[in-house]
Structure 1
Amino acid sequence: MPENRNIQVSKVTDPADLEKVFAIRREVFVVEQDCPPELEWEFEDESTHFLATVDGEPAGACRWRKTDKGYKLERFAVLKKFRGFGLGQELVRTVLADLPDDANYIYMHAQLPAVTLYQRFGFEKTGPEFEEAGIRHYKMVKK
């Protein structure tokens, strides 16, 4: 990994930036992980979206939304060529900092390979492993 990469994570609402977010998610989830597209595009209008860039180039995305249970962190995606740069950690850090002060129940459905990343931020696995969109997950809750 080259040194001095400029990594930035920003909350986005502009349609052009949202298109970058959706393009990243399409590449990671629909193309790479073979998720059904109809499962990928839901709750967009009620979600708060984030775009990660590396040296100004779109590289990662995620979102949070309020549900009837609490605040759900979702759709963490980093393009293959940018993995290993620390983008996942920056995305999690930024999203957690953006949540409202009353966010006392924070949870996610984490893909198995990402569980250790989320554990670093105080998330714990709850319940059994399950399958979502053909991919193994654990429900994780921030303690």
Structure 2
Amino acid sequence: MIEVNRVQSDQELNEVYSIRKKVFVDEQGVSEEEEYDEHEQSAAHVLATYNGQPAGAGRVRLLDNVAKLERICVLPEYRKFGVGAAVTTALEVEGKRLGAQKAKLHGQTQAAPFYTKLGYETVSDIFHEAGIPHVVMTKKL
């Protein structure tokens, strides 16, 4: 069973950081300096569990009344169970709670088909962040 909740404690936030380190730093080669930034404290973070085990994470910030979904990731052993979709949906709900009517994200090009299935539309050319090709994607909430 998948559960996704807004992070409420330092322990939960540490779980989020651990998942992000495993996925973005260890697996994808993003530097820790790029992965952890000045928005960590102001963003709303979510933690996904699968059968009680930490499995995925993400964060959302409100920018000009748009929910900017960021750092969406799922540990390799929990991919294909719907954790990524659950994290994305939880971030959208949080964005709406913050007053957003639209969501946007910088999706890795390899993940763009996943976000398209969730209703996102690509609105940019390919660009690079942390050496990884991305596109801007948006969705009306």
TM-score in terms of structure 2 length:
0.92
Letter in 2 for 1:15: D
Where 2:80 maps in the other structure, the secondary structure is: coil
CA distance in structure 2 between the partners assigned to 1:121 and 1:82 by the alignment? 18
Equivalent residue number for residue 87 of structure 2: 91
The residue that corresponds to 2:107 in the other structure is: 110
Structure 1 residue runs without a partner (length 5+): 1-5
The unaligned stretches of length 5 or more in structure 2 are none
Where does residue 137 of structure 2 map in the other structure?
140
The aligned counterpart of 2:40 is 44
Could you tell me how far 1:122 is from its partner in structure 2? Answer: 2.0
Tell me, in whole angstroms, the C-alpha distance in 2 between the residues paired with 1:105 and 1:60: 23
Identity of aligned residues (%): 38
Offset of 1:121 from its aligned partner?
A: 2.4
Q: Secondary structure at the match of 1:44?
A: coil
Aligned length: 138
Paired position in structure 1 for 2:122 = 125
Aligned to 1:22: 17
Superposition misfits of 4+ residues, deviation over 3 angstroms = none
- For 2:72, the equivalent position in structure 1 comes to 76
Structure 2 match to 1:3: none
